[in-house]
């Protein structure tokens, strides 16, 4: 199970509806953003909910480097250091990561000189050496697979919880001791910890009778783990979270947490009992294809959420599963500090700062970024040969990106450019027709995938493992742009 999956369905389905709710006169045919958002009186919008900016702590990204990400778990230390430095330059003061999802590893991975454990310690040190605070995510009740297999009597009961791999019941004394043993070794081995976040579920939980009501069991177990963490890191802040759990569970957590003096924050939910650290509202990493089609820029949605939620959180630790959401992470860090900034301003700033563009090129690419994020529709041919995304400017965005690359040769070696380019090409393949030829779009799709292999091979591995029908330009039958032509050709033989 993918960490964070429990919050995705309701978010990704809501993007198109949110954009319709924002509908108004578009700023340009490429960005298609409402005039109310553009902030015509300068670079700041006039929303009453966002007239002041504030210093947030923590303000950063949670890099979920587990086996369901889009390449993070394959990075070496040098690639991590580059990402750490870039994230700091984008405005972060903290970085979070996932040093051990025990259910995905073996005891050998936890030996002192094991490559995985060595890398996690070095990663922690690298974040601290950059001057950033260090946070990490830890599941409450997972153990190594061989331990889980050896003790079926310890197994957690699913109930209403998203367990993930190798969860044990925290109400079984022997299982609880094993949980504490693993976590104490983890806390003792990491050179610095400023925050630890542990969700009630996803991954974690137990629905057995001994654990009911589970919110109480969760908090009791987390309190024990917090005491262990503070033996080695006295100043660590413990972050509880009801994210992905039911409203009833969150209500119980809301009642119980004010009495929990050991708990410092909550991660998104429940709101009220402790200062909130935003996690993934809006969701920016799994939305719009989960990285399979490059990024899904949702700058307008990020701005909208930060405008209406700005007075209700103290920090940010945004969930991330790979480089594909780079543009969203940049925008989120900008809007988190000052939601008065306009979508167009932040999009252009990304083009200037990270694509090294200027003048008209930066303006055009900024408009492209602001306009990307339309639904990727493929594999819908069962219903209609005429099905396709309503995205009339898709081909124009591709053309602009190709033209800018021709004029600015440095973009050939800029992975961020290729991420945006790939998304634009995928969106063009999701339309029924357009001004560009299928041959050109197919060529550009292959060029982007070749660039990933050259510039970001770990992400390229993720793309290469997808089914061929998820790769635009490969299988004609699964994309609106190509299926009708392919089907008409077949009919010509009958």
CA-CA distance, 434 to 388, in Å (whole number)? 11
What pLDDT was estimated at residue 17?
A: 37
At 5 the pLDDT is: 53
Query: CB within 8 A of 161, min separation 6: which ones?
Result: 200, 201, 202, 204, 205, 206, 207, 214, 245
In this structure, what are the phi and psi dihedrals at residue 401, rounded to the nearest 5 degrees?
-65, -40
Instruction: Report the interhelical angle of 214-232 vs 173-189 (nearest 10°).
Output: 40
Listed in sequence order, the residues at least 6 apart from 480 whose beta carbon sits closer than 8 Å to its beta carbon are 377, 378, 380, 381, 387, 388, 389, 429, 430, 431, 432
Residue 163: what pLDDT? 87
Q: Is-cis flag, bond preceding 151, omega within 30?
A: no
**Mean of the per-residue pLDDT values of the chain:** 89
Fold of 5-16+47-341: TIM Barrel (3.20.20)
Whole-number pLDDT of residue 490: 86
Go through 478-493 and write b for each residue having 16 or more CB atoms within 10 A of its CB, e for each that does not: bbbbbbbebeeeeeee
Strands 195-199 and 315-320: unpaired
Q: Which DSSP state fits 113?
A: T
- Find tokens 């990493």 and name the residue: 285
Per-residue model confidence as pLDDT tens digits over 125-165: 999 999 999 999 999 999 999 999 999 999 999 999 998 89
Across the chain, which has 494 residues, the per-10-residue mean pLDDT values are: 47 36 42 37 41 78 93 97 98 97 97 98 98 97 98 96 94 98 98 98 95 98 98 98 96 98 97 94 88 95 91 93 96 91 97 97 98 80 69 96 95 98 96 94 97 98 94 87 85 88
User: Quick check: 49 and 307 in contact, CB under 8 A?
Assistant: yes
Give the start-to-end residue ranges of the domains of the chain.
5-16+47-341, 358-491
Q: What is the pTM of this model?
A: 0.89
């Amino acid at each position: 199970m993918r960490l964070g999956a429990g919050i995705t369905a309701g978010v990704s389905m809501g993007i198109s509806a949110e954009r319709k709710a924002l509908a108004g006169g578009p700023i340009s045919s490429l960005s298609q953003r409402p005039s109310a958002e553009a902030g015509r009186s300068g670079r700041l919008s006039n929303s009453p909910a966002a007239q002041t900016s504030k210093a947030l702590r923590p303000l950063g990204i949670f890099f979920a480097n587990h086996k369901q990400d889009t390449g993070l778990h394959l990075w070496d230390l040098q690639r991590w250091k580059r990402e750490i430095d870039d994230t700091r330059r984008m405005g972060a003061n903290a970085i979070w990561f996932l040093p051990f999802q025990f259910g995905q590893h073996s005891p050998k991975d936890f030996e002192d000189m094991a490559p995985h454990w060595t890398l996690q310690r070095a990663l922690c040190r690298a974040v601290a050496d950059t001057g950033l605070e260090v946070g990490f995510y830890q599941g409450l009740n997972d153990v190594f697979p061989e331990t889980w297999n050896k003790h079926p009597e310890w197994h957690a009961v699913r109930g209403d919880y998203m367990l993930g791999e190798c969860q044990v019941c925290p109400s079984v004394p022997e299982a609880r001791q094993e949980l504490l043993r693993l976590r104490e070794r983890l806390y003792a081995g990491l050179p610095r910890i400023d925050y630890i976040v542990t969700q009630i579920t996803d991954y974690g939980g137990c629905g057995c009778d001994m654990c009911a009501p589970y919110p109480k069991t969760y908090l009791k177990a987390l309190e024990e783990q917090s005491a262990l963490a503070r033996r080695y890191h006295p100043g660590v802040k413990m972050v509880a979270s009801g994210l992905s759990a039911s409203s009833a569970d969150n209500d119980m957590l809301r009642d119980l947490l004010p009495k929990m003096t050991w708990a410092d924050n909550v991660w998104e939910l429940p709101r009220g009992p402790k200062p909130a650290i935003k996690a993934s509202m809006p969701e920016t990493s799994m939305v719009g294809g989960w990285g399979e089609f490059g990024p899904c820029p949702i700058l307008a949605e990020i701005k909208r959420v930060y405008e209406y939620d700005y007075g209700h959180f103290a920090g940010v630790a945004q969930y991330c599963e790979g480089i594909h959401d780079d543009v969203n992470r940049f925008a989120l860090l900008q809007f988190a500090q000052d939601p008065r900034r306009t979508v167009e301003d932040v999009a252009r700033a990304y083009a200037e700062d990270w694509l090294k563009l200027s003048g008209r090129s930066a303006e055009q690419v900024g408009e492209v970024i602001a306009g990307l994020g339309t639904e990727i529709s493929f594999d819908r041919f069962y219903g209609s040969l005429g099905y396709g995304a309503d995205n009339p400017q898709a081909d124009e965005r591709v053309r602009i990106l190709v033209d800018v690359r021709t004029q600015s040769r440095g973009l050939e070696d800029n992975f961020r450019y290729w991420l945006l380019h790939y998304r634009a090409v995928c969106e063009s393949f999701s339309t029924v027709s357009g001004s560009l030829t299928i041959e050109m779009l197919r060529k550009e799709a292959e060029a982007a995938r070749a660039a990933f292999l050259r510039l970001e091979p770990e992400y390229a591995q993720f793309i290469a493992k997808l089914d061929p029908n998820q790769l635009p330009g490969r299988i004609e039958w699964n994309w609106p742009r190509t299926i009708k032509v392919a089907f008409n050709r077949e009919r010509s033989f009958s």
